[in-house]
Chain A
Amino acid sequence: MELLTNLAHGFAVAVTPTNILLCLIGALVGTLIGVLPGIGPIATIAMLLPITYKLDPTGALIMLAGIYYGAQYGGSTTAILVNLPGESSSVVTAIDGHQMAKKGRAGAALAIAAIGSFIAGTFGTILVAALGRPLTAVAQAFGPADYFSLMVLGLVCAIVLASGSVLKAIAMIFLGLLLSTVGTDLETGEQRMTFGFLPLADGIEFVTLAMGMFGFAEILRNLENTESRDLVQQKVTNLMPTRDDLKEAAPAVARGTVLGSVLGILPGGGAVLAAFGAYTLEKKLSKTPQEFGKGAIRGVAGPESANNAAAQTSFIPLLTLGIPPNAVMAVMVGAMTIHGIVPGPQIMTKQPDLFWGLIASMWIGNLMLVIINLPLVGLWVRLLRVPYRMLFPAILFFCAIGVYSINNQPFDVVLTAFFGLTGYLLIKLGFEPAPMLVAFVLGKIMEEKLRQAMLLSRGDPWTFVDFGRHPISTVLIVISVALLALAVTPALRKKRNEVFVEE
């Protein structure tokens, strides 16, 4: 009952004309920057901060939150249409989403992404409102050792289920891990593999790598065959998903939502793990796993629902502890502090307007995203008919701006071009970039958590399977080992299906 009163209070705060307008602007701007490849929510929020000085803190935060989940949403659009994941969590969406687009079903893919995201967003919002506090305890139970083991499980899933060539997938996973270690050593501050370049001191940016490996490489590949255009040029069948599509996607949406909600509360890699985990799960449960990677609608519905649910629940650590779980949230904390509100564990009692207003606006924002995006599906799909000679330079142009905007470093753009060439070679040789990108994202967290866990245990590697001290970690390691063991048994090897296949 208290929840309902609080939510009612939240809606009273959020449903003022000004705040609805701010929410709409935020969602719209977020969608737009999400659609533009490479331009992320962090740079956008940082650029828009000065505008929010004039607003009241609640309104400002509502707008910024709108940008955040709008960008999550928009990122999937580019991933589906042009195979360009702008956010780490939409790497997985690109796999089957883009295949659907190639088959002329871009409309269905976009619509199912929008619908799945809305359902997941609604569920995530309710979860934040009802169970924010207890869920915080779950997140807090995860120490460095537990995180490390979770990442191990993630990588094992990628290895076990990868096919095409398992060896090539493993090679790409290790390449991703290797690239994630470029930069300053966490513990000693020494620079590793930077070749003396100061711009590499903080490692390689995800966007730099993703834009190069996906965007630039894809364009290079398309340049070589002028006849068969594999961006969606052929007739688009129907814009909206059919009844069968919806029936097919519904369970995937439900599973993705639950998985995403749980993993979203973990700071750091939550959203990526959620999207990737949902994809693995869908493929595992599917009766027709061979369709995954060739345009399976569940391969879009699951991960898209998961990453949007995770986007909502990732607010939990910020709202209940005052600790930003990722870089976007850190900028939002900055926005709050400029308004004189330092977020902390008491924000719910000290700033009820802001707390409940923000939660209500999350749902309103998600509703607006559906309203904005469903009609836009037709427009986005038409965008694909733009001739290559105009579309490609435009994509390259926005990629370059996006990459530059992360750190304001020209070097990053050069690096993207380098990864573009590398990515092109790898595609030609039959290596898939998706496992590499997932390993790259997980690798950074994995190394950090490994070092911390080892320092905390005074160098004892058994700490990860010490059930008395780290039960979560132990369970995760046991599952990982079991999965690996299953993978090497011949019966299962025959059935091993493909998680990351692009063609």
Chain B
Amino acid sequence: MNNAAADMTTSQAGSIKPIFARAKNVTVGYPGEIIVEGINFELPQGQAMALIGTNGSGKTTLLKTSVGLIPPLGGDLTVFNTKPGNSARRIAYLGQFHNAGFILPLRALDVVRMGRFPLHGLVGKMNAADNEMVKSAMHTMGIEKQADTPLRFLSGGQQQRVYLAQVLAHHADLLVLDEPTSGLDAAGRELYLHAMNDEMCRGASIIVATHDIQEEAALCQQIMLLAHKVVAFGPPQQVLNSETLLETFGIVIGKDQKRPAVLECAHGHDTEPAIQAKVKGRKFWMR
């Protein structure tokens, strides 16, 4: 993690963490079409930020801008202290998939292996360590038994697990995930939430677009509510209240069921208090 001293932040615990992504008054959108203006955030190492909003609220546009797929329309957006799109080796991206073309002869394993491509370029050889990471990512998402199965024979939920395993196999410093839980069953969601937590404990940061204002959002240190503008931004307990949710979604449902974070790092010595927060009533550890 090679960041300049100038780009550090003091976290709640008092330790210094490098900033992985920073937006100053950023405008995102497409030429001639501004989608969201005035975006400001700082994402330190090991933290997660959730983008929450309805379909078409600008979540995907902001994600695509932060991985360099579309240029920002204004403001100053840096990822690893450089322009978005310049740090392929350090960024893993999960887009919203179009499953239409999936008659391709690709095994689940082949898809997960693609997660290692950015680290080896065109012809760099994959070694035993790569295979180990691929295997472990498939294990994490519970699809190691499907490794040799062609993707087209897997259900939508299983395919989503494969895509998530691909992201995990990368061991990236920044994970950018667009609705990663779409199509996942309950078990898949739990595996995903654990994996997300493990990634943060490892020191990776996450930007995730989600509709889950409960478990997934509670894992994040920062929440950005989007509705063609930034409705609210800050820690979950501050941001997720009836008024802001009403402004974001136009409707508030199930606000009583809101649960805070329930995960902790396996090796708990160097973690953020927010991740350590334990909550009664629910057993999360499965391993």
Is chain B a partner of chain A in the same complex?
A: no
